[in-house]
Amino acid sequence: MEGLLAEHERLSKSGTFTKSLDDIQKTMDLLVKARETIAASEMPFLSSIFQRENKSMLIVTLVSDTETASLNLAKLQTPVKNSLEDVHKDLEEVRKCQSKYLKLLDKKFKDKTLPQMDYVALSAQPALINRAVAMHLLREGQFSVASTFLSEATKDQVAENVEEDLTMSGTEQDLGLDSLKSESLRKQFANMYHILHEMKNERNLLPAIEWARDKSEELEKRGSNLEFELGKLQFVWLFVGRPNQNGQSNLYEGRQHALEYIRQDLSHFRPRYHRELQQLCGAIAFCPNLPQSPYRRTFLNNDAWDELATSFTKEFCALLGLSADSPLYIAATAGAIALPHFSKLQVIMKDKRTEWTTKHEIPVEVPLPPSYRFHSIFVCPVSKEQTTDQNPPMMMPCGHVVAKESLMRLSKNARFKCPYCPNESHPKDAMKIYM
């Protein structure tokens, strides 16, 4: 990978592209100058006027200095030829770099056959897949595309849904696509994107603050501090001086606006965020020298806007009952991380002529990042298998835990000794652990 990165860096720093464009521009300038010289030497004049059958015919003859034109064209031959040769040399160097870069790409990322499986986990749940795609489009603000996708996805399933509704459970009905067609859901996402646009591009926190005030009770139940963080960043924005019409900021006026804002709009946070409010007011004493003050992290944080936008998106989606990130994006990213491991596994299984028949487990552990782990798992220390809903973990009276199948295999419905300590117990004394 280091060689590929080094070649990419060398190719990006190469001045061949700029030189080639300069050579082309020089050739165009020579041609334009020659055209202007030839055009200036042309001398139009009126040669004759004929009257025929009550109609006037105007014949204009253009007399050009052919010698001057021929001389200018002759002068162009050598410069244009040299310029084209320079361009050819530049492009030849580009082709060499491109060829070497493509070879490194092919060497690093070899064309391999994707692993194939006879069992597809979601093959029997197309509605769940369609819902994930539609929800991803709505979360990305592609409302018209989401509307078209929903109409196309449900067009051929209307008759089937009537029959399936009689046998569907409540959870399966909730996974349908009808809930995504509601205008209120689209308005919610449209409002979210409007607030994010104002926050990121216009540095305007007022729409976000207004939304947080309307949802203050729900946010407080979640233990969220989003409303205070929005007000805090608004104070900082006012404190450093909001720009005027000329793009300049007045630090003195900024402090006055910030103090007025904290008295009027942040006073109700005093019981809960008394210390934080004291720190904001204490920064006034360090106003002329904020970069060297203890408050520089608060007032000179360039990432504060992006961090608060991410926090706002998380809370907004949480109040809608959704995760902060798109499930489709998470699934695709996790699949991309796992794909090399499955490809290697398929090669090993093919060489050893073995097969993996377990549907709900994978034979290797995929090193997903911590943010992609949404629930705890338990691997039975006896069978070395991951527990499932059909084979849950069971805790014996001694405190040790094994899978249910291992427990029944060890006990044979009678008293047995724990495989990890001397204590004996009966299978009926074991307790199921919920994860």
Sign of CA dihedral 405, 409, 413, 419: negative
d(CA 47, CA 89): 51
Main-chain dihedrals φ then ψ at residue 49, nearest 5 degrees: -130, 125
In the prediction, which pLDDT does 159 show? 43
Indicate the SS3 state at residue 144.
helix
H or E segment at 220? helix 216-221
Q: What is the percentage of the chain residues whose pLDDT exceeds 90?
A: 14
Question: How many residues are given for the chain?
Answer: 435
Q: pLDDT (tens digit, 9 = 90+) per residue, 259-277?
A: 899 889 998 898 889 988 8
Indicate the SS3 state at residue 2.
helix
| pLDDT category of residue 232 using cuts at 50, 70 and 90 | very high
Query: First CA to last CA across the chain, in angstroms?
Result: 40
d(CA 8, CA 20): 19
d(CA 142, CA 155): 20
Q: Which residues pair with 395 in a beta bridge?
A: 401, 431
**Statement: residue 161 has pLDDT above 60:** no
| pLDDT category of residue 157 using cuts at 50, 70 and 90 | low
Pick the residue with more confidence: 50 or 343?
343
Locate 3 and state its tokens.
Answer: 């060689």
Strand order in the sheet with 431-432: 401-403, 393-395, 431-432
In the prediction, which pLDDT does 177 show? 57
Q: pLDDT (tens digit, 9 = 90+) per residue, 62-74?
A: 444 566 677 777 7
Would you say 115 and 346 are in contact if contact means Cβ atoms under 8 Å apart? yes
Pick the residue with more confidence: 246 or 336?
336
Q: Please give the average per-residue pLDDT across 173-188, as a whole number.
A: 64
pTM: 0.58
Sign of CA dihedral 400, 404, 410, 416: positive
Q: Which residues pair with 401 in a beta bridge?
A: 395
| pLDDT category of residue 245 using cuts at 50, 70 and 90 | low
Sign of CA dihedral 343, 344, 349, 350: positive
